[in-house]
Structure 1
């Protein structure tokens, strides 16, 4: 079953074409990574999938319904005057859920991302990794069928990035949303995704894709296996060809 799709989409801005023609189909429960150079249109593709802007040409198909799609951006974008609980509960309150139920569901979401006990903390009291966990809890609290992650770990240190990557895969195993993950990091893409789609330089098109073998969530030491290294090299080769296209 297809959860979302971009079919021959093109996006034109006053400075020129930013994306396309570009086609991407996302199946239910699938994890897809988008990899490409800066400015190739990865984030533009994400905005189309999120319904934040329309394409200039082409078709966008999305699962309808409030709360069916959730987005986590590079910056946590938390309201600084709200607690972690209130930030995570915000989508539910905006959807008309009672404050008590929203708070209860927000606490459960925060516990799932490892923040039990930090419900009352304000964003200024949180580390970068903890703030990103609150942002993940806020995205997951509605039980979305499509989770869009736009370089959410880019500003974090390597240890925190790896820990959050494992956390996201664990959460995926529990709730099984489709995930589209944008990253510049080839190893991160291969580690997190079942399929890596490589984009050409701007305007972004599909340079090719690599299916990633191996169980999800990833077993310990997966990054050291020959299969992982081979798939990283395959994605890197496609990326080099995409830059030259």
Structure 2
């Protein structure tokens, strides 16, 4: 079953012309797809189209998730600084009309799932970068989305935290199996996170090619050192080079 698709989409902006396309992408139920490409190739634009935050200039966007069934996590956690971690995580539920006490209980459960049990009352200023991103993930997961869109969520974090959060996201995915699109500049991160990696050309972004990633999800310990992981990283890197990445 197809959860979302971009069919020959193009996006033009008055100030800078064509930003994306033509570009096509189909996402199956429970599938994890990574988009990689150089800066300015339109990865985030494609994500906004899938989220329904923007409309294409040409082409078609198809989405099956209903209201409240798509969640987006951006590079910055975008937390309300005056709210606690629990209140931040509860926001999507409250906006959907879920009763306050029920929303807070579900938010606390979501925070516990991302490893922040006991930190429900902390404000964003009291959280590390990794903890703030975990709150952002909890906020995205609290509605049980069918489509989860991740726009370079680990880019500002150190390597140790990035790797820990990658494993956390995959573990969370294993419980409810949402379809995920993961945008990153990091080839190794893309291959680790996804079952399929789509490589984009420099802007206006088109598909330069794609590669399947063999191996179980979530990833077992030591997966980054396996021959299939290294070979896939090299294959994706070659696609980037062939596509004229700069």
TM-score (ref. length: structure 2): 0.98
- Structure 1 residue 140: Cα displacement: 0.2
**Large movers: runs of 4+ above 6 Å:** none
- Structure 1 residue 64: Cα displacement: 3.9
**Equivalent residue runs for 1:11-26 within 5 Å:** 11-14=11-14, 15-26=16-27
The match for 2:109 is 108
Separation (CA, whole Å) in 1 of partners of 2:112 and 2:176: 14
List gaps (5 residues or longer) in structure 2: none
1:42 aligns with 2:43: yes
SS where residue 12 of structure 2 aligns? strand
SS where residue 243 of structure 1 aligns? coil
1:133 aligns with 2:145: no
The match for 1:148 is 149
Are the aligned partners of 2:93 and 2:103 in contact in 1 as well (CA < 8 Å)?
Answer: yes
Tell me the number of residue pairs that the alignment of Structure 1 and Structure 2 aligns.
245
The match for 1:4 is 4
- Structure 1 residue 67: Cα displacement: 1.2
1:54-78 deviations in Å (ceiling 9; x for gaps): 0000000112422110000000000
1:199 aligns with 2:239: no
Separation (CA, whole Å) in 2 of partners of 1:210 and 1:3: 20
- Structure 1 residue 119: Cα displacement: 0.3
SS where residue 217 of structure 2 aligns? coil
The match for 2:123 is 122
Are the aligned partners of 2:33 and 2:181 in contact in 1 as well (CA < 8 Å)?
Answer: yes
The match for 1:235 is 236
After superposition, the Cα gap between the structure-2 partners of 1:244 and 1:79, relative to the gap in structure 1 and judged at 3 Å, is closer
1:63-101 deviations in Å (ceiling 9; x for gaps): 242211000000000000000000000000000000000
Are the aligned partners of 1:35 and 1:199 in contact in 2 as well (CA < 8 Å)?
Answer: yes
1:110-136 deviations in Å (ceiling 9; x for gaps): 000000000000000000000000000
SS where residue 218 of structure 2 aligns? coil
The match for 1:224 is 225
Are the aligned partners of 2:73 and 2:149 in contact in 1 as well (CA < 8 Å)?
Answer: yes
Over aligned residues, Cα RMSD in angstroms? 0.9
Separation (CA, whole Å) in 1 of partners of 2:12 and 2:242: 24
The match for 1:57 is 58
TM-score (ref. length: structure 1): 0.99
Separation (CA, whole Å) in 2 of partners of 1:144 and 1:223: 28
1:175 aligns with 2:176: yes
Separation (CA, whole Å) in 1 of partners of 2:100 and 2:88: 12
Are the aligned partners of 2:37 and 2:245 in contact in 1 as well (CA < 8 Å)?
Answer: no
